[in-house]
C-alpha cells in the first residue's frame, strides 16, 4: 500500500494490517519516517525502538515470468515506495501469510543511515529445508540484535522447492540449464544487493556475516562452494544446518521425471511448466521421493549441475574458496524432539518397540540392535525414549556437523563448534534442546511469538551469551567474548566444543562415543542419491 492509501484507510476507519510503529511513521508524514535510496528508487521505512526498519524491499523482479531461470533485477519505480510490510513468501505447501512467485524481497534493520559507521552486516537465511519458510517470522525480527551489537541485520525470501531447485537441465533446452539451483542464485542476487547498498544502510560491504538455521545453514554451506558467491560474505554461522553433498544430476533428474509424471507432462511439454498455476506445481511436489525410506514428498535441494555448483559443498573436503572465512558450526543436543516429539508414543517407548522405531527414523543403515546396545553401554540410565531421541539426533543431522567441522579442521580453516545443551522449559521440559531452539536465543528474541525458550531469566541470560557470540564473530571473526570460557578453534585432536547451558563450558569431543558409533557407516546426505 502506498502512503496516500494508508492515510485514506485510516481516515475512513478501515482496518489496516500493519505494525503500529509503521502506521505511526506513515501517518506522521515523511519527516518522521526514514528515507533511503536504493538502486531502483527511494524507499520509506519506520522506526521501532530506535532502529530504522525497512520491510519488503525488492532485490529482484517477479519470477513468474522467469520460472526455472535466474531472476532479473527489480524494475525501478517513481516517487517514494513505502517499505513497511514484509513481501510475499515463496510458493510452498505450508502457507503462512501471502505467497507469490513475486517473492524476492528483503528486510533491513539498522541503527542509522549513511553515517559512514561501517557496521557489521548480518544476513539471515531462513530454515524450512529448501522447501518452505520465509524471512518474515517474528522470531527473525532484527531490532534487538541491532540494538545489542550496533549492527545491520537483514532477512530475506527466495525461491523454494520446485521453483528454486527442480533440475530440468537434462530434460529440456538451454533455458533450463540453471533450474536446479536458481533458489541459491536468488541468495547470491540478494547478497549482491547487500554489497551495493551497505553504505546506504550504515554497514560495511567488506564485513558481511551470513547466518542461518536448519535449511538456512545448509544453504550457507552450499554457497561456500559456489563460485558466484565468492567474496559476497566474510563470516558464516550455521545452526543445525549442514550440506555435505548436493543432489547428483541423475538423482535430481529422476525426481524431475517423477514430478512431470505427476503432472502428466512429457519432457517435450516442459514449456507448459512455465504457465501452469503455481498451486499445481506445489501439489505435484507431494509425490513420494524415490530415495527415502519413509513416506515423504519429493526432495528439492542444491544440485551438482556443473553450471553453478561444480563440486559438493563439503565432500571430499571443505571448499577451498571459503578456507579463509571464519565459520561457527552449531547443533542442539535434542534436535529430533522437534520432529518426532509430536507423537506422544515416542515418549513412552519400550525396549521391544525401540528397534523398529530406530530402523525407520535414524536415517543410516546401522543395525538398530547394535545402536541400542551401544547407547545402553554409554548411558546406562537412559530410557528407551531417551535412546530414541539421542540416536535419531546423532544419526540424522549431528553427524553432518561433525563431518563439516572435521573437513574445515583438516583444511586449517578458522572454525568453532557449539552445542546447545540448555533445554526448553515448556511442557515440563519434554522438548529438551530441540531443533530451532537456538533461533530466539541468537536473535535475542526470547519474548517473541513462536519462541520455544520462554522469557525467563535463564533464557534471557543464554540469549545474551549466544547473540554476543554471533556479534563477536561478525565484528572480530571469532565468536569468543568475555561472557564465555576460552573457546579455541575446532581441531581433530581435541574436538573443542562450546556447550551453551546455564553455565557455558568447553568440552573436548562431547558425545564422542556416539560419534565413534556412527562412524562405522559412511555418511550420506539425504537427497544425494
Cα gap 127→157, rounded to integer Å: 11
519: nearest Cα among 385, 398, 339: 398
Cα gap 248→121, rounded to integer Å: 33
Q: Which three cell numbers stand for residue 336?
A: 529430533
Strand blocks (E) in 378-440: 415-420
Helices 354-361 + 384-393 axis angle, to 10: 10
Catalytic residue among 214, 397, 451, 465: 214
Tell me whether strands 105-110 and 51-58 are parallel, antiparallel or unpaired.
Answer: antiparallel
If residue 438 lies in a helix (H) or strand (E), which one and from where to where?
A: helix 437-442
331: nearest Cα among 224, 216, 238, 235: 238
How deeply is 16 buried, as exposed, middle or buried, from its count of CB atoms within 10 A (0-12, 13-18, 19+)?
middle
Please state the φ and ψ torsions of residue 444, each to the nearest 5 degrees: 55, 45
Strand blocks (E) in 193-319: 203-213, 235-239
If residue 44 lies in a helix (H) or strand (E), which one and from where to where?
A: strand 41-44
Cα gap 335→396, rounded to integer Å: 9
What is the DSSP secondary-structure string of 161-202?
HHHHH---TTTS-GGGTTGGGHHHHHHHHHHHHHHHHTTTTT
Quickly count: other Cβ atoms within 10 Å of residue 357's Cβ: 22
Please state the φ and ψ torsions of residue 338, each to the nearest 5 degrees: -70, -30
Please name the residue that has the C-alpha cell 544487493.
193
Active site residue 214: yes
Whole-number Cα distances in Å, 226 to 65, 220, 308 = 25, 10, 6
CA atoms within 13 A on the CB side of 189: 25
* Preceding peptide of 107 cis, ω within 30°: no
CB 477 within 8 A of CB 326: yes
What is the DSSP secondary-structure string of 363-392?
-S---HHHHHHHHHHH-TT--HHHHHHHHH
Task: For residue 65, give the 3-state DSSP assignment.
Answer: helix
* H and E: helices and strands count for the chain: 16, 14
Q: Which three cell numbers stand for residue 498?
A: 562450546
Q: Which residues lie closer than 8 Å to 32 by C-beta, 6 or more apart? A: 24, 25, 47
Cα gap 238→322, rounded to integer Å: 14
Catalytic residues: 214
Amino acid at each position: 500500500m502506498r502512503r496516500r492509501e494508508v492515510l485514506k484507510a485510516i481516515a475512513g476507519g478501515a482496518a489496516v494490517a500493519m505494525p503500529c510503529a509503521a502506521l505511526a511513521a506513515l501517518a506522521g508524514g515523511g519527516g518522521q519516517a526514514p528515507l533511503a535510496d536504493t538502486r531502483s528508487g527511494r524507499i520509506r521505512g519506520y522506526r521501532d525502538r530506535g532502529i530504522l526498519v525497512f520491510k519488503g524491499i525488492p532485490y529482484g523482479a517477479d519470477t513468474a515470468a522467469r520460472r526455472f531461470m535466474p531472476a532479473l533485477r527489480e524494475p525501478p519505480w517513481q516517487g517514494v515506495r513505502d517499505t513497511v510490510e514484509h513481501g510475499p513468501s515463496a510458493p510452498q505447501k505450508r502457507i503462512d501469510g501471502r505467497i507469490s512467485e513475486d517473492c524476492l524481497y528483503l528486510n533491513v534493520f539498522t541503527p542509522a543511515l549513511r553515517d559512514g559507521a561501517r557496521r557489521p552486516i548480518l544476513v539471515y537465511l531462513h530454515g524450512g529445508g529448501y522447501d518452505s519458510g520465509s524471512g518474515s517470522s517474528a522470531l527473525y525480527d532484527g531490532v534487538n540484535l541491532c540494538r545489542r551489537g550496533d549492527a545491520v541485520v537483514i532477512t530475506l525470501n527466495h525461491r523454494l522447492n520446485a521453483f528454486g531447485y527442480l533440475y530440468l537441465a537434462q530434460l529440456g533446452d538451454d533455458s533450463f540449464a540453471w533450474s536446479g539451483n536458481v533458489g541459491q542464485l536468488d541468495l547470491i542476487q540478494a547478497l549482491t544487493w547487500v554489497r551495493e547498498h551497505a553504505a546506504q544502510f550504515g554497514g560495511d560491504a567488506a564485513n558481511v556475516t551470513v547466518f542461518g538455521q536448519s535449511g538456512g545453514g545448509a544453504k550457507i554451506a552450499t554457497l561456500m562452494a559456489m563460485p558466484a558467491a565468492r567474496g559476497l560474505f566474510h563470516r558464516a554461522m550455521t545452526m543445525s544446518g549442514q550440506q555435505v553433498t548436493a543432489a547428483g544430476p541423475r538423482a535430481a533428474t529422476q525426481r524431475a521425471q517423477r514430478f512431470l509424471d505427476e503432472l502428466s507432462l512429457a519432457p517435450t511439454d516442459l514449456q507448459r511448466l512455465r504457465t501452469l498455476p503455481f498451486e499445481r506445481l506445489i501439489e505435484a511436489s507431494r509425490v513420494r521421493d524415490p530415495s527415502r525410506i519413509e513416506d515423504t514428498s519429493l526432495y528439492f535441494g542444491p544440485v551438482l549441475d556443473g553450471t553453478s555448483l561444480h563440486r559438493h559443498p563439503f565432500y571430499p573436503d571443505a571448499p577451498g574458496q571459503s578456507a579463509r572465512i571464519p565459520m561457527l558450526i552449531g547443533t542442539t543436543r535434542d534436535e529430533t524432539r522437534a520432529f518426532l516429539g509430536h507423537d506422544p508414543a515416542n515418549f513412552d517407548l519400550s525396549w521391544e518397540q525401540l528397534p523398529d522405531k530406530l530402523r525407520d527414523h535414524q536415517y543410516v543403515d546401522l543395525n538398530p540392535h547394535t545402536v541400542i546396545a551401544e547407547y545402553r553401554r554409554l548411558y546406562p540410565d537412559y530410557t528407551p525414549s531417551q535412546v530414541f531421541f539421542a540416536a535419531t539426533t546423532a544419526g540424522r543431522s549431528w553427524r553432518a556437523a561433525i563431518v563439516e567441522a572435521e573437513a574445515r579442521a583438516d583444511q586449517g580453516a578458522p572454525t568453532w563448534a557449539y552445542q546447545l545443551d540448555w533445554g526448553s522449559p515448556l511442557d515440563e521440559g519434554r522438548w529438551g534442546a530441540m531443533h530451532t531452539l537456538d533461533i530466539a536465543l541468537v536473535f535475542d528474541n526470547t519474548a517473541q511469538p513462536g519462541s520455544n525458550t520462554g522469557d525467563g531469566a535463564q533464557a534471557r541470560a543464554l540469549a545474551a551469551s549466544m547473540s554476543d557470540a554471533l556479534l563477536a564473530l561478525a565484528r572480530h571473526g571469532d565468536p569468543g567474548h568475555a561472557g564465555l570460557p576460552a573457546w579455541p578453534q575446532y581441531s581433530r585432536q581435541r574436538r573443542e566444543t562450546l556447550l551453551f547451558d546455564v553455565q557455558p563450558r568447553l568440552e573436548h569431543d562431547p558425545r564422542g562415543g556416539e560419534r565413534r558409533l556412527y562412524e562405522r557407516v559412511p555418511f550420506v546426505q539425504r537427497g544425494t542419491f
